[in-house]
Homo-oligomer: A and B are copies of this chain.
């Protein structure tokens, strides 16, 4: 399948789902009368990224998947968010960025050489990068963000993680 169809629309959908999890956390905090921003520093293990960083990595990785496959430059956002509302803005900004890509931008993406900083000059083909790294990495951070909220009592379920799918009849 075309790498654009496999990535951009799904990354946008997952970022919208992520925004919904933050909205659910805000509602939860209001009903329990605590400051939702206390959750920014929540983490599942002391040597793992906290919630804020998981959201930031999810956004940044989504942008990088698109920019690497299309060989466009992606400006990293500075991880300056200190509130839930700030993170929601970050998510919205990542969605806006992804929406600038078209299937035509992905011409030749399968054969494109993608080299990540830790590869020491080695590289992967675009299709290998998507299959072996990019999606695993993106879903890792998205799921961890989701799990941190679940662990802290936010009312979410698997359906909120997956989001809508296009069914045919």
A interface residues (Cβ-Cβ under 8 A, vs B):
1, 3, 5-7, 9-10, 13-14, 44-45, 48, 110, 113, 119, 121-125, 127-128, 130-133, 135-137, 139-140, 143-144, 147, 150-151, 153, 158, 161-162, 165-169
Check if A14 sits within 8 Å of B136, measured CB to CB: yes
Partner of A48, one of B10, B14, B137, B150: B150
Interface centre among A125, A130, A150 (most CB of B within 10 A): A150
Check if B48 sits within 8 Å of A168, measured CB to CB: no
Q: How many copies does the complex hold?
A: 2
Across-interface contacts of A162 in B (CB, < 8 A):
133, 136-137, 140
Known contacts A143-B139, A147-B44, A161-B136; is-contact A131 B169 (Cβ 8 Å): no
Q: How far is the CA of A143 from the CA of B158 in the complex (A)?
A: 13
A to B CB contacts below 8 Å, 21 in the list: A1-B3, A1-B130, A1-B131, A5-B127, A6-B131, A7-B131, A9-B131, A10-B132, A44-B44, A44-B150, A45-B153, A122-B169, A124-B167, A128-B165, A128-B166, A135-B135, A136-B139, A139-B143, A140-B161, A143-B144, A151-B151
Smallest CB gap from A121: residue in B: B169
Q: How far is the CA of A169 from the CA of B150 in the complex (A)?
A: 42
What's the minimum C-beta distance from A106 to chain B, rounded to whole angstroms?
11
Q: How far is the CA of A3 from the CA of B5 in the complex (A)?
A: 13
Across-interface contacts of A168 in B (CB, < 8 A):
113, 122-125
Q: How far is the CA of A65 from the CA of B151 in the complex (A)?
A: 28
